[in-house]
Structure formats: C-alpha cells, structure tokens
Structure 1
Amino acid sequence: MRNKKDTLIITGCEGFIGSNLAKLFLIKYKHLKLIGCGNLNNKEKFFNINNLELVEYWNRDELFINLEKINKNRLLGIVHLGACSSTTEWRGDYLISNNTRYSNSLIDFCITNQMRLIYASSASVYGMRGFKNKENPSDLNPLNMYAYSKLLTDQYLTYKYPNQNLITSLRFFNVYGINERHKVGMASPVHTFNEQAKINNEIHLFMEDDSENPFQRDFVSVDDICTLIIDLLTRSDMYGIFDAGTGIPISFRRIADIISKWWGIRGKKIEIKQVGFPTKLRGFYQPYTCADMSFLETKKIYWHPKNINKGIHDFLDSSNTID
C-alpha cells in the first residue's frame, strides 16, 4: 500500500464480515487509518468493534455528507459491506432504499471521484440452482427481496458502467465465523449449530426430501473472505462481478458431525436430531450452492481458503470457552 493513501472506509464495520475485516486490516497494516460506517443499534454490534482502533465512526446517514468533506487523496478505497441481509424481509421499498439505492449512490460517487470500491453482493441471486450459469451469466432468479436488492445493484454497475475499472462486486457464498451473534435468525449454520450444541447438547438438522441428494452449501470462513478482500483491494485487474466461496459444497450433516465431534472430544455428548423443514422456507431455500472460483487461476491470485475441518475448528476454538 502506498504511504500517501493511508485511509480506508468500511461500511458495515460493526457487522459480521466488516468487524473481522477491520481487525485483519489493522493487524496487517498498522499505519492504516480506518473509518467505520454503519448502524450501532445493539450491544452485540458494539462488542464486535469496541476493541478496534478506529479514527472515526460515522452513522450510515452521514456517509455521503462526510465523503464530500474528507481528503480524497488519502483514501485507499471503500469496502461496502453494510446492508440489511435478512432473507425473510419482504418490504421491497425498504430494501430498495436501504440496500440498492444506497449502494448505487456509492458506485456513482466512486466512479465520479475515481475511487476504488469493493462491495458485497450475494450468492442468493442464483436462486434454487445455487451457482452461476457459465453459458448464460445473466440467467439469475433471486428467491427473496434481499437477493433482488443485491442483483439490482450488480445490474446497475454492469449496465451503467460497462467499461469501469474501479469497482468489484463479490457474491459471498455461505460465510461463517466469529461475530455473528447480532444476526438473529440469519446466522450461519456453523454458528447456529455450535450455539445449539453448547446450550442444549443437540444439533437440529432439517429433514430432507431426498437423502441421496442432501442439502449442500459452499461454506467459507470469514477469515478467508477478509484475506481475499485485502488481496483484491489494491489489484488493478479485478473489476466486475465475481463469486466468493471455496468452490467446494459441503453437506449440513458434515458440518453437524464436525461440531458434534469437537464437543465430544471435550467431554460433551451432542445428539444430532432431525426436525421438520419449516413451511415458510419451502420454495425459498437454496438446497445447493457452489462458487465459481476459476478467476483465481486466470488472474493468478494465490488465495487458498481453509478446508472445512480447519475452518470450523478454528472458529470453535476461538468462540468457545471450556472450563
């Protein structure tokens, strides 16, 4: 990183990925001046960032006002992670305003001011298929309003700025790790299963209609996602829309088994129970996801995410206190 550009803005800094990214940036680049921006509306978010050395924290409503005042020559870029990520939120007007319009305005600002931007999109835009159609990348079928709000921003970037060389959209797959406590009902299965095991000595798996084809998701550690963002931020050839996962789908049963065995080694017997599939999720639940990470080889990006056992063990070791 150039010394002249020593300031980075992270929106959603108090959130799950944002707080982990801020921590890693400050560890790797001690000279970096970090500005957080978001919505500190509960104590879990506060505890995600209370130990971070931020030079400023802006409310999300202050972002564009403060961007006009800041010394833009010192800005390394913006990582935009702030959004409502609830897949059960159906108020379209709210999500279009909070997610889509806000992100689109940030894209406009960065294009106008020649500013580097990486923003969070989502694998939920792929719908029930759960992966990119390489023959027809525009073949997308979001299953909920959250996914649609993210897709609209990706389309805005593609069609308004087809030749831009400043902005990267990352379609995150199933990210897991520390600092998910504020994501009530939306936390990753890894976090949820661990909490169930810790509190109730059991893990709940949804019953599946086809045992030969179990639910599988592309689970990726938040540590790896943060490393990828840092690696891409200063590259001059990573513009456009890309998947962000491991490219290896893993069954929910395997996730449950890893967590159960981890607790078992520590003297806690965990029962894995099957529970009925929620009616409200039928038709809106991706049974399979898998990222297309072929760009790593094409662009010669040396990013190697943890295997699922290592990733979950690291998470369990850091998030559980054993007496």
Structure 2
Amino acid sequence: MDKDSNIVITGAAGFIGSCLVSFLNTEGYNKLILVDDFSQTDKDVNLKGKKFLKKIERELFFEWLQKEQPKIEFVYHIGARTDTTEFDYSIHEHLNVAYSQKMWRYCCENNIPLVYASSAATYGAGELGYNDDESIIEKLKPLNPYGISKNEFDKWALRPAQDDKLRRAQDDKLRQVQDDSLPESKSPPAWAGLKFFNVYGPNEYHKARMASVIFHSYNQIIKNGFVKLFKSHKPEFNDGEQLRDFIYVKDVLKICFWFLKCWQKDHKLFISGIYNVGTGKARSFNDLVKATFSAMDLKPDIRYIDMPEDIRNTYQYYTQAEMQKIKAAGYTEKMFSLEEGVDDYIRNYLSKNQYY
C-alpha cells in the first residue's frame, strides 16, 4: 500500500472527518473517496481546498461500490449521527449500527482494514469506569440513544465466531436477501474501534448545540464578555467542576493516522480491538473556560446557570480515558495539554475564522 492507494473516509464533510482529509493531504494522500450526506451545505466549507478523488452520497455508497468495484486499501468510518439530544433511536440505529455493519461486512469480504468511530458515550455514568477492556462492553449502560447505538455496534463487532448465526440473520435483514456465501473470516484483516472522548478543534463550526464548550465559550465571550456554565446538580461536584477528558482534534488525527502507518509498515503492528482516544487526564469546565479566556488575553468571567431539564438525568459528571491499552499497542506520542490545545484552536483558527 502506498500514497496512491484509495482510502475511504465516511463523515468526510463533518468535524473529525474533514480534519482527517486535510491531515492525510499533508501526508501526501490525495486519492481519497469521501462519503457523507453532502446535501447538508453548511459543511461544504470544511472541504474547501482539500484534495480528494471522489465525493459519494452516503445512501448511494454501497450501490456505487457494487457497480464500480473500486480497489479500496483502507477505510476510516468516521460518519455517524452524533447528536446526544436526538432520542429517536431509529435514526441512530440506521446510521450508527446498520450502516456500520454494512461497512464492516464490506471490509471483511474485501480484506480491507477498518478504523471506525466509537464513543466515550458508551460508558454511560461510568459505573464500570472508563477502561477499554473489551470484556466489560456487554455490561456497559449508555445514558442516551447515541451511546446505546455506538455500544451496540461495538458489541456486534466483538461477537465471537460461535454467534455468527445471529450476525448472519442481521446481515440478511440488512441486505434484504438471503445469502449463504459468508466469507471464512468473520472480521476485517485488521480493525480498530476508537472511543472518542470530548474532541474539540477547528471545523466544528456547523455543529450548533453539539459543538465543543470551547467553541461556545469563545462566542459567548465575543458577544457578552462572560461565559455561562451549567451549575452542578450533584452535591459532590461544585459548579463548573464537572470533569471531562478533553482531547484536541490534532491528537485524534495522529492516532487515526498511526493505525494506517502500522498497517503499511507491518500488518502485525496493527493490533485489532477497541481503544480509548482521550488524554487520560480529566479537567474541569472551569479549567477549560479559564484557558479560553487566557488564549483571548482576557480575565475570566464565569457565571453559572441551571442545566436544561432534557439532559439533566443523562449528564456525565466525570469522564477520563484509561490510555494504557493504546500505549501498550505502540502509540507513544505526546499529546496537547488542555491549555496548549485551546490556545492553538483559538489563536490559529477561531480568532481568524480559519479551517483545518
């Protein structure tokens, strides 16, 4: 596999997907097949100036694959419905479960490595911690339909060979035809599910309510001179001291690219499995907002408001990725601290209205 190989990126017009397109371009990879719902024109600017081979509508992609029979060398399945306030599970089930199963099966049948986006939302309230030990995935209790859908696919991906009859039944339902010609392999030649924690950075301008707290804080400061944060509704947490593992998108991109480089260098270096993608260090929203003010060369002014009722019962008060697994697999690059990431994001992107 070389830089002229075809690489698929789903969710390519979105936040992480479009950043990944740019990152791969800088590494010399331009034969990229981009998949997304391109009717959402508010994301068009995310791909401006980027190099790629073809754009294909998400719902036409598998039909296109069957017709064109392209040679695909690697797949990044980043696309998903990520709105945690969308409670219609059928939407999540279609995009985050069924579509991902079809992508998995395609990679399996065509011997293509697959990296897909999972989520830290699968951990729910964190009753079992934030350990990416695959033995606990069946026991996780996500708090919203988005997290449930991501965990359902993780469970399906890990299903052992003896459960393949159930997988076959699900696949038949997806194809709407009976097909007994399943490949011998039950998995792609290499695969990784990446449990993204709280990712922030450029190209999230279109995400509205679901954009990062940094994005919203920056805009609140520009407009009002202060930032509103949610009060705590748990006595063990002070206002603004809810904790998250915030990871800068540039670190996410390096991890995604590392799997590709492992595969290229030696297939055995790509150790399949589900991995946390965070920094391993939880930080408070107060810390995050103070870093935002600092990057704008302003003194902090934080005010606290009640948390909306529609998210109060499903709100995570603490997340922190355990990162030993991916380090043991060979990833050792230093990550941005919260202050470093926020400073780069604001000074080089938000304040200049720049895209990555």
TM, length-normalised to structure 1? 0.91
* Equivalent residue number for residue 257 of structure 1: 290
* Equivalent residue number for residue 310 of structure 2: 280
2:115 and 2:217 mapped to 1: Cα distance? 31
**1:305 maps to which of 335, 338, 349:** 335
Spell out, residue by residue over 1:253-281, the C-alpha distance to the aligned partner (whole angstroms, 9 max, x if none).
00011111222x2xx55521111122221
The answer as to whether partners of 1:100 and 1:153 remain within 8 angstroms in 2 is yes
2:109 and 2:153 mapped to 1: Cα distance? 17
**2:66 maps to which of 65, 68, 73:** 68
Which deviates the most, 17-26 or 51-60?
51-60
1:303 and 1:185 mapped to 2: Cα distance? 31
Query: What is the letter of the counterpart of residue 48 of structure 2?
Result: N
Spell out, residue by residue over 1:104-160, the C-alpha distance to the aligned partner (whole angstroms, 9 max, x if none).
111011111111111101000100116237595233011010111111111111115
* Equivalent residue number for residue 230 of structure 1: 257
The answer as to whether partners of 2:125 and 2:316 remain within 8 angstroms in 1 is yes
Is 1:290 the equivalent of 2:320?
Answer: yes
Query: What is the letter of the counterpart of residue 82 of structure 2?
Result: S
2:25 and 2:133 mapped to 1: Cα distance? 37
Runs (4 or more) in structure 1 with deviation over 6 Å come to: none
Query: What is the letter of the counterpart of residue 88 of structure 2?
Result: R
1:25 and 1:303 mapped to 2: Cα distance? 18
* Equivalent residue number for residue 190 of structure 1: 214
1:261 and 1:11 mapped to 2: Cα distance? 35
Residue 184 of structure 1: SS of its match in structure 2? Answer: helix
Residue 322 of structure 2: SS of its match in structure 1? Answer: coil
Which deviates the most, 229-238 or 157-166?
157-166
* Equivalent residue number for residue 47 of structure 1: 45
The answer as to whether partners of 2:132 and 2:276 remain within 8 angstroms in 1 is no
1:136 and 1:119 mapped to 2: Cα distance? 19
Is 1:221 the equivalent of 2:248?
Answer: yes
1:154-169 superposed matches below 5 A = 154-159=154-159, 164=187, 165-169=189-193
1:42 and 1:34 mapped to 2: Cα distance? 20
* Equivalent residue number for residue 19 of structure 1: 18
Give 1:293 shift.
Answer: 1.0
1:270 and 1:248 mapped to 2: Cα distance? 22
**1:38 maps to which of 17, 20, 36:** 36
Give 1:72 shift.
Answer: 4.3
Give 1:25 shift.
Answer: 0.2
- Alignment RMSD (CA, Å): 2.1
Residue 239 to residue 136, structure 1, CA distance change in 2 (3 Å): closer
Residue 74 of structure 2: SS of its match in structure 1? Answer: strand
1:78-227 superposed matches below 5 A = 78-129=75-126, 131-132=130-131, 137-138=136-137, 139-159=139-159, 164=187, 165-208=189-232, 209-210=234-235, 214-227=241-254
1:132 and 1:305 mapped to 2: Cα distance? 19
2:229 and 2:39 mapped to 1: Cα distance? 31
Residue 304 to residue 91, structure 1, CA distance change in 2 (3 Å): same
The answer as to whether partners of 1:296 and 1:303 remain within 8 angstroms in 2 is no
Residue 169 of structure 1: SS of its match in structure 2? Answer: strand
How many residues align structurally? 316
Unaligned runs of 5+ in 1: none
Residue 304 to residue 207, structure 1, CA distance change in 2 (3 Å): same
Give 1:68 shift.
Answer: 2.2
Query: What is the letter of the counterpart of residue 313 of structure 2?
Result: G
1:196 and 1:41 mapped to 2: Cα distance? 29
Spell out, residue by residue over 1:7-62, the C-alpha distance to the aligned partner (whole angstroms, 9 max, x if none).
111110000000000000001125x3111110123343001112212221000011
1:3-14 superposed matches below 5 A = 6-14=5-13
2:260 and 2:310 mapped to 1: Cα distance? 39
